[in-house]
């Protein structure tokens, strides 16, 4: 019997599949569960995970902040910051009037917002991102090699969001403070996802790390 494929295409499927990983399905998208037995060790050093399956949506416009607050969506106090949703997920403020909302696994905020009537001066933003998660104690070294921003100089406790380029690709990066080491969520246009993943994995391998599956990523 043929097993139906998930109905959402993973923008980084091809380069990951070439490594013969073990796949699973999250939010109707095929994602890598693990590459091998040493994924957790790789994650401690510098690992590249794939979080493209997370549901996300966006809104912008002069009335966007007030409208989102009316829907009980928390708004970061300043541009270029993110805050956590009450359920798993986050809200990133990409400018004064533009917001990225992303659900954690099982979250329903995005579906709820997309199902509402959109008032004047609020404009939906289609989000079809590839999303990478960078972890490990040498993650900062990888960033220094691939991006002009000195992320080590940022105060992670303020939950910064940075719009920049990484190996020539426009990206949005959210810095997550962690007890052991910072974690970085990296969004880019899905059409550039395979190139960005492949390039970052090459750099990570030079640092002793590489790709990791979902099972090696901390929750959150």
Predicted confidence at residue 87, as pLDDT, reads: 83
Same fold, 13-53+128-212 and 56-125: no
56-125 maps to which CATH number? Answer: 3.30.70
Instruction: Give residue-wise pLDDT tens across range 18-61.
Output: 999 999 999 999 999 999 999 999 999 999 999 999 999 999 99
In degrees rounded to 5, what are phi and psi of residue 157?
-65, -20
Q: Does domain 13-53+128-212 have CATH number 3.30.1360.120?
A: yes
- CB 94 within 8 Å of CB 76: no
What are the residue ranges in the chain where pLDDT is below 50?
1, 3
For residue 54, give the nearest of 3, 84, 10 by alpha carbon.
10
Predicted confidence at residue 5, as pLDDT, reads: 59
How many whole angstroms separate alpha carbon 131 and alpha carbon 26? 14
Domain spans of the chain?
13-53+128-212, 56-125
Predicted confidence at residue 1, as pLDDT, reads: 40
Q: Is 28 left (phi over 0), alpha (psi -120 to 50) or beta?
A: left
Give the C-alpha distances (Å, rounded to integers) separating 73 from 43, 64, 89, 205: 32, 11, 11, 39
């Amino acid at each position: 019997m043929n097993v139906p494929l998930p109905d959402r295409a993973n923008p980084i499927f091809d380069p990951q599949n070439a490594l013969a990983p073990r796949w699973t399905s999250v939010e109707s998208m095929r994602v890598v569960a693990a590459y091998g037995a040493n994924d957790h060790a790789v994650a401690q050093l510098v690992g590249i995970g794939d979080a493209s399956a997370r549901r996300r949506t966006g809104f912008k416009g002069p009335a966007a902040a007030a409208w989102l607050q009316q829907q009980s969506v928390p708004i970061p106090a300043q541009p270029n910051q993110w805050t956590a949703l009450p359920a798993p997920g986050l809200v990133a403020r990409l400018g004064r009037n533009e917001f990225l909302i992303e659900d954690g696994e099982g979250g329903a905020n995005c579906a709820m917002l997309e199902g509402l009537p959109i008032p004047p001066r609020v404009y939906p933003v289609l989000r079809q991102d590839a999303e990478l998660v960078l972890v490990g104690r040498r993650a900062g070294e990888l960033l220094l090699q691939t991006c002009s921003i000195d992320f080590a100089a940022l105060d992670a406790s303020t939950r910064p969001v940075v719009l920049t380029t990484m190996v020539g690709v426009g990206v949005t990066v959210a810095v997550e403070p962690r007890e052991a080491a910072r974690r970085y969520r990296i969004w880019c246009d899905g059409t550039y996802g395979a190139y960005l993943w492949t390039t970052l994995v090459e750099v990570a391998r030079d640092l002793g790390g590489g790709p990791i599956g979902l099972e090696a990523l901390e929750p959150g």
